[in-house]
Structure 1
Amino acid sequence: MIWPFSPDIVVQRLFVRLKFRSSPSSPPRPWGPVVGAVASGLLLSAAFPKFDGFPLAWIALVPLLGVLPQASPAGAFRLGFLAGLVHFTTSLYWIVHVVQHYGGLPLPVALSALGLLCAYLALYPAVFSWLARHWLDRPSGWAWGLAPAWVCLEWIRAHLLTGFPWNLLGYSQGPFLTLIQMADMTGVYGVSWLLVQTNVAVALLLRTSKVRPLLIASLCIAISLGYGSWRLQQVDSPPHAGDGFRVGLVQGNIDQSVKWDPAYQKKTLDTYERLSRGLVRQDRPDLVVWPETAAPFFYQIEAGPTARLHQIVENLGTPLLVGIPGIVRTDGTAKLQNQALLLEPSRGLTGRYSKRHLVPFGEYVPLKKVLFFVEKLVAAAGDFQPGGGPAALLLGRHVLGVLICYEAIFPELAREEVRNGATMLVNITNDAWFDHSSAPYQHKEMARWRAVEFRVPMVRCANTGISAVFAPSGKTVASLPLGRRGTVSALVYPARTPTLYARLGDLFAWICVLTTAASAIYGALRKRTRK
């Protein structure tokens, strides 16, 4: 007797239904393609924090790919655009709160800002869908061309117009530690490739009953998991005695609305000093870290607060890495800089890093002559000046590579720091702008990947959270939750050997770019030959 709901029966019935719907003789359902596109957009968003449904990323594109045969190439572009619009709107919704609450913009203007950004980002899945529709009659093009095309488009998004690599598909798998170990060779793009390859294989199985693409995708997953298990054992092996370095994080949880109020300046420094004293007394760290712009004054410009900051370091008797705004002169004009200072007892200032990748419309206005009407969303109004390059900070026999705010989502910046000698990465940030939305969780998960890619500890100190320390395997060693004032410390072990990704960078992504270009040229020549 066969169980009526056995997997074989279910798959056979599903094949019959899908083939019937996509056959030329069956009338198309007008809302079917739209539902498929919307479903993919929602599934993509659900794979990221704070929804945390990361297994959904393995099938998120299947509904979209499944409805593309019913559409023309132009229709496929529109469906991909719709899927992208739904995805980015539901995962970047927090931008409305930022520009309305802290930028002081009316709600319609804030919604328009979100809409424009999401419309731009939606162009990338739209192009992906357009390519998928053009390659519909080439199963090999689908099986081997679509995953590289997705990675190619992600790489372009990460670099075009200063780049915005927020929530690249591979980032959804941060909790899947065994899988993401491959990032020390391919970066996040390798995991994105694997996810899309699996989605395409499932879609092909449902559309054509071809099992081979899914078997190949399964083999790739098995190889990745095998490599990940091996690397986890290596990276998590007990380090040499004496190599440990204890770092302490101070999460002040200062409300953004009062952070730059002069009346709260002394209170803010009092808060950080009190927390730091308790941290040093209890855990005796080798380094204390305060978050981005934790000190709400201009270093060496405001003499009183500057002197007090140095006195705090002397009283602690422990080196301090602190985020603080600074002033530099460029062509005789004073410019703001977002800086991190390394201060040591009895030595004073021993290292300085200035943020290099500024936030568009936050720390500067791109195309200022055209967009002269755009107001910046920073508390200290004015154009920020980017730093000149990596500035690894020497602390004893350890070297700190600093990333400020969303610099942590750009692996090329972390790579420059590591190649410049950094044995650990420190990300100081102020995520108070985002309140309790999903943005702090997304930001924290992306920072985790820098530890895996370069096999260095990643120390992340945030004003309101989420502060965390990641081991070179990506494991969370210590953390402080969002919206809590407190301290935490952890013993970290600096880098041992450089990774393949540190040596070669985005070679895998470049291979995907070249593969996509070759596939597009081959498809165009094939179409021309047929004509």
Structure 2
Amino acid sequence: MMTKPLLARLILSLLLGAIAVFSYSPFDIWPLAYVSFTGLLLLTKQKSAKQTALIAFIWGFGYFLAGIHWVYVSINQYGDLSIPVAIIILSLLVAYLALYPMLFAVLLRLFNKVCPAYSLKQFIILAPLIWQITEYIRSTLLNGFAWLQFGYSQLESPLAGLFPILGINGVNLLFTICCGLLAYLVQQFIQRRLHLSKYKLHIYGASCTILVIFAASFWFKHINWTQLDYTRQTNITLIQGNIPQSLRWSSKQLNKTLQTYAELTQEHIKDSDIIIWPEAAITDFEYNQQPYLKALDLYARQHDTAIALGIVDLVKNEYDYQIYNALIVLGGLTPYQYPTKNRYIKHHLVPFGEYIPLQQLLSPIAKALNIPMSSMSAGPAIQEPLTMKGFKFVTVICYEVILSNLLWQNFTSDTDFLLTVSNDAWFGNSIGPWQHLQMARTRALEFGRTLLRSTNNGITTVISPKGSITKQLPQFQTAALSVTLNPNTGLTPYARWGNYPYYLILTIFIIIIFLRQKHLK
């Protein structure tokens, strides 16, 4: 039987998980992330392992329900499923994701003998380490779902200065350490140990550590790790076609879509060196559109302009075929001839959206969702950059922009710009596209490069190497965004070393945990 104190803790944990959504875009109230995760740390001390697991699960359910409720729009409006079925599918997804905070709490409890509960060592070393492990599993298992990592909530906080040094994983780690210090301070206050000198020392140390982390991060935020190259300049136009998701894959809509993008391109081609269309702007197989693509290529070369466009590529062989989500470049030095080499093929596919995990078991769900192109194949992890008018673009498509390590594998010192194309129309007028944009902004900050983001119906933006939005189109409008840009040179520490410093910190944490020494309290 559930007691009133336990019920109160469950309600509180649900609320603490849910309020974290306001720390992400478009709200950006970043201190709430500390309230949410610190609350989780403090609530997981229960008399039984079952209570610990239940409270952490409820916290995770509130966290992910509030954070990704916009998936309902895709399921209900564009999957053509009834409201009850859409709610059930969303609930199952949220419940699955909530298992990871539950796993975190259970593992934290299992290691009580190594790091006693509510000790300083547990809060600032063991808890951050286990959280990173469970987040890694969440980001990789069944191709992973790395959405809503707490580090992204800190894009507007002082910790943002650490993105060019440690990347998203390092900021996640520092964030959890700060929360651990806050939890320790709260716990000491609750236990009324302030009058004991040994605890005063710990309290002063914890407080000073938080201040030092924030002060150092704030100082790093003002360092210019990369510099503009004023000797090179280009005019780039991003096209936002604003094709309704309900019509995009209709054969009746295809000609109108081609006409829309052609007209927008024609309006800006005289003043643009490079024009970029969004993901799958042409909703047809590339080999079916050869006359259109060759005419567009000739038009681009006549105006000395490069055009990058999203398209679906079907490659047949003797026994099978593969479907790829591709971005190809027209208007090169030589006429377009299928298949061109100057293309990017999406590597990291989205489960159910682009491929079906555990296909024999889960294919009925995919059929029920009625998602077009849900049997795609992945391109290689490492690909040559797209080259347009002498500039090199490290490119990712849609969801891939949240995968920092994928960009790092393809990034080189002579990379000029970062480029991502997307179609967030699946999520309607929800907070989903804003969260997606927040993660794209983080990539620009990590690598110290301008990031260009072309989307179907928003949010189309140009993001500075500091992670700020320099230009942006309104959502749900057919429009084009033109900008004159200089590339950046130089490397941020993260662009140079990637996650190696982060791995080093984790290794040190593991060594500290298992050293036979007196427990910190």
Q: With structure 2 as the length reference, what TM-score do the two structures score? A: 0.87
Amino acid at match of 2:232: D
Change (3 A) 1:510 1:243: same
Query: 1:309 Cα shift?
Result: 3.3
Query: 1:165 Cα shift?
Result: 0.9
Report the Cα distance in structure 1 between the residues aligned to 2:286 and 2:489, rounded to whole angstroms.
35
Change (3 A) 1:139 1:28: farther
Aligned to 2:160: 180
Aligned pairs for 1:93-492 (under 5 A) are 93-133=69-109, 134=112, 135-176=116-157, 179-209=159-189, 210-231=203-224, 234-235=225-226, 239-281=228-270, 284-314=271-301, 317-344=304-331, 347-349=334-336, 351-375=342-366, 380-381=372-373, 383-388=375-380, 389-419=382-412, 422-492=415-485
Q: Deviations over 1:43-100 (max 9, x none)?
A: 2122112333223113222333333334433322221111111110111111122122
Q: Deviations over 1:294-348 (max 9, x none)?
A: 1222223334433443355356541101001111124532321111011116633
Aligned to 1:9: none
Report the Cα distance in structure 2 between the residues aligned to 1:137 and 1:468, rounded to whole angstroms.
45
Report the Cα distance in structure 1 between the residues aligned to 2:317 and 2:414, rounded to whole angstroms.
28
Gaps of 5+ in 2: 190-202
Amino acid at match of 1:374: I
**Residues 142 and 357, structure 2, Cα contact 8 Å, conserved in 1:** no
**Residues 198 and 214, structure 1, Cα contact 8 Å, conserved in 2:** no
Aligned to 2:198: none
Query: 1:132 Cα shift?
Result: 4.6
**Residues 148 and 512, structure 1, Cα contact 8 Å, conserved in 2:** no
Query: 1:182 Cα shift?
Result: 1.5
Question: 402-411 or 96-105: which moved more?
Answer: 96-105
Report the Cα distance in structure 1 between the residues aligned to 2:374 and 2:108, rounded to whole angstroms.
45
**Residues 477 and 490, structure 1, Cα contact 8 Å, conserved in 2:** no
**Residues 413 and 491, structure 2, Cα contact 8 Å, conserved in 1:** no
Q: Deviations over 1:92-127 (max 9, x none)?
A: 111122122222333333223222222222122223
Report the Cα distance in structure 2 between the residues aligned to 1:519 and 1:100, rounded to whole angstroms.
49
Amino acid at match of 1:491: T
Amino acid at match of 1:268: T
Change (3 A) 1:45 1:123: same
**Residues 229 and 489, structure 2, Cα contact 8 Å, conserved in 1:** no
Amino acid at match of 1:341: I
**Residues 124 and 176, structure 2, Cα contact 8 Å, conserved in 1:** no
**Residues 417 and 487, structure 2, Cα contact 8 Å, conserved in 1:** yes
Report the Cα distance in structure 1 between the residues aligned to 2:268 and 2:300, rounded to whole angstroms.
13
Aligned to 2:192: none
| Residues matched between the structures, number | 493
Query: 1:435 Cα shift?
Result: 0.7
Say which SS state the counterpart of residue 328 (structure 2) adopts: strand
Query: 1:382 Cα shift?
Result: 5.6
Change (3 A) 1:213 1:131: farther
**Residues 18 and 67, structure 2, Cα contact 8 Å, conserved in 1:** no
Amino acid at match of 1:269: L
Q: With structure 1 as the length reference, what TM-score do the two structures score? A: 0.85
Report the Cα distance in structure 1 between the residues aligned to 2:318 and 2:447, rounded to whole angstroms.
37
**Residues 149 and 512, structure 1, Cα contact 8 Å, conserved in 2:** no
Report the Cα distance in structure 1 between the residues aligned to 2:312 and 2:373, rounded to whole angstroms.
12
Query: 1:137 Cα shift?
Result: 4.7
Query: 1:419 Cα shift?
Result: 3.5
Report the Cα distance in structure 2 between the residues aligned to 1:328 and 1:124, rounded to whole angstroms.
38
Say which SS state the counterpart of residue 172 (structure 2) adopts: helix
**Residues 454 and 499, structure 1, Cα contact 8 Å, conserved in 2:** yes
Report the Cα distance in structure 1 between the residues aligned to 2:373 and 2:141, rounded to whole angstroms.
26
Report the Cα distance in structure 2 between the residues aligned to 1:71 and 1:315, rounded to whole angstroms.
75
